[in-house]
Homo-oligomer: A and B are copies of this chain.
């Protein structure tokens, strides 16, 4: 490996000067253009690449951000990570992505590894997370700018980026209501999942305001599970059960897109066509939803935006730290959007 000293020797200057020139440090303005030229030529000729370890050891900077995902196989994560990656790339940061596998020990281990590697900030993608409280403690201790995506936080040391679940719930029910549906089935999220309650609240308040009666026999809850893919399975089973009951319905609101896929499978097996016999609406707008047949109507989360926003927040946080200012925790809640495709239809 070629070091700064090799460049110094080759160019005929000291390593100090080389360092100043190549980093364009403040002192560089005193150095004549000829000197700079010679040094830069030598550096290029030798293919000099500064050793990041030596540099970081001295400067305390790493230009690295840690990203922790609770379950990467959850399709919901991918667009978010894309957003994170794109924004960091533009800012010349490198993300280190870790997949926690929904496992507490793995979370702690990875957190330790990231902190050991001196990541300058942390972005936590808390999808399908049930262990929220204790994780927060670990994160607060880390004392670097941290933002959590997907959990409605009111913490004042950890920032958050979330979607307005209540609004999302309302958008879903409103859409079906406008299409004329009155007998609507619901598969709600697991009770212990943070997203579940606000989505339901949005639905209930719309129903109340519009004199829409919610039949308790048509309301089901997803069970708790470590695996986000399980919502497909559960969506299938619960819908199957709903179909078997004597209370008929013309539309179904699924907790998320995976659940909706399971519901569609169940309806289809029961000989019911979607959307002709039953409309189905999901939540999230994962990539597969547009490819499904029928294409899924869903409440779309601005996933990539959320990732980018999170990067913006931690980037500001890093600057605050550099200037030794205190880092304010921000809480951004984004509006979801209704995406109408082919799985919902006007009631005849």
Contact = CB atoms under 8 A, between A and B. Distances in A.
A209 interface: no
B85 A81 contact: no
Contacts of A265: 291, 293, 295
Contact of A116 (B49, B229, B293): B49
A14 interface: no
B72 A81 contact: yes
A-side binding surface: helix, strand, loop or mixed?
helix
Given A54-B57, A85-B99, A291 B94 contact: no
Nearest to A77: B78
A3 to B, nearest CB: 12
Interface in A89-107: 89, 94-99, 106
Q: Copy number in this complex? A: 2
A68 to B, nearest CB: 12
A320 interface: no
A288 interface: yes
A53 interface: yes
Contacts of A78: 72-73, 78
A264 B287 contact: no
Interface residues of A, number: 45
Interface in A225-273: 229, 232, 258, 261-262, 264-265, 268
Contacts of A229: 287
B232 A291 contact: yes
A191 interface: no
Interface centre among A52, A72, A229, A293 (most CB of B within 10 A): A293
Contact of A82 (B50, B72, B96, B288): B72
B293 A261 contact: yes
Given A75-B75, A89-B106, A264 B293 contact: yes
Contacts of A95: 97
A192 interface: no
Contacts of A85: 72, 98-99
Nearest to A117: B52
A79 B264 CA distance: 25
B57 A291 contact: no
Interface in A45-62: 49-54, 56-57, 62
A253 to B, nearest CB: 18
A52 B287 CA distance: 39
19 contacts: A49-B115, A49-B116, A51-B57, A53-B54, A53-B56, A72-B82, A75-B75, A78-B78, A85-B98, A94-B98, A261-B291, A261-B293, A262-B291, A265-B293, A268-B294, A288-B288, A288-B291, A292-B292, A292-B293
